[in-house]
Amino acid sequence: MVNLDLDLDLDQIFNNHATDKQSSHGYAPIYHALFKRLRDTPIALLEIGIGTVTPGASSSMYGHDLPGYRPGASLRAWRDYFSKGVVYGVDVQPDTMIDSEDRIVTALCDSTDAEAVKAYLKHAPGFDIIIDDGVHDPELQLKTLRNFYPGLRSNGIYVIEDVEPPGSWARSMGCRPEFRNSVGDALCFAVSCRRADLVVISKRGVP
């Protein structure tokens, strides 16, 4: 039997759902390297920012969406990749809510509001993976990290997408100091990508 290249498989999953994680950003090989050990396990994954198409909304996909795009594209892609996982999503825009799709659970929540996040996490499972694809502003990404990091399980992975500016600081510093200082002894590093950088935080061994 020929083993298929799973990097290409994730690439295709992203493209099938018209998410820009692959076509514009080239995240598929990085994500597969990070997550392949979890692919066939019953994980809980949370993505912050579901992808509104409301004109004028913060981080709206309106005018930037790929053909066939609809809110929740990334959630559907992760559901396909993690065949035994449950995928959760939060956003502030009502048009992103998904009511009745298998293994997808969405909720309205402002990731930068500490009290709103605390209330959300009270009724949520611990997450094996958290991906921040919300507002791509370093100050708001930092608030989101501080609010949601307590919801990440030990040995979990937290990823911040589209960290600006791309390239220069990632190569010289590895991770923004303000991000690193918010996660204690967890491993924190950055990966330069096509348009912006990913920050990856691994909570391995951290209670």
Q: How many CB atoms lie within 10 A of CB 95?
A: 14
H or E element that contains 79 = helix 73-81
Q: Which residues are catalytic?
A: 136
> How far, in Å, CA of 143 to CA of 10, rounded?
30
Burial of residue 68 (number of CB atoms within 10 Å: 0-12, 13-18, 19+): exposed
Among 202, 193, 192, CA closest to 21: 193
Residues contacting 49, CB < 8 A, separation 6+ = 59, 90, 91, 111, 132, 133, 134, 135
| Sole residue written with tokens 């040995």 | 155
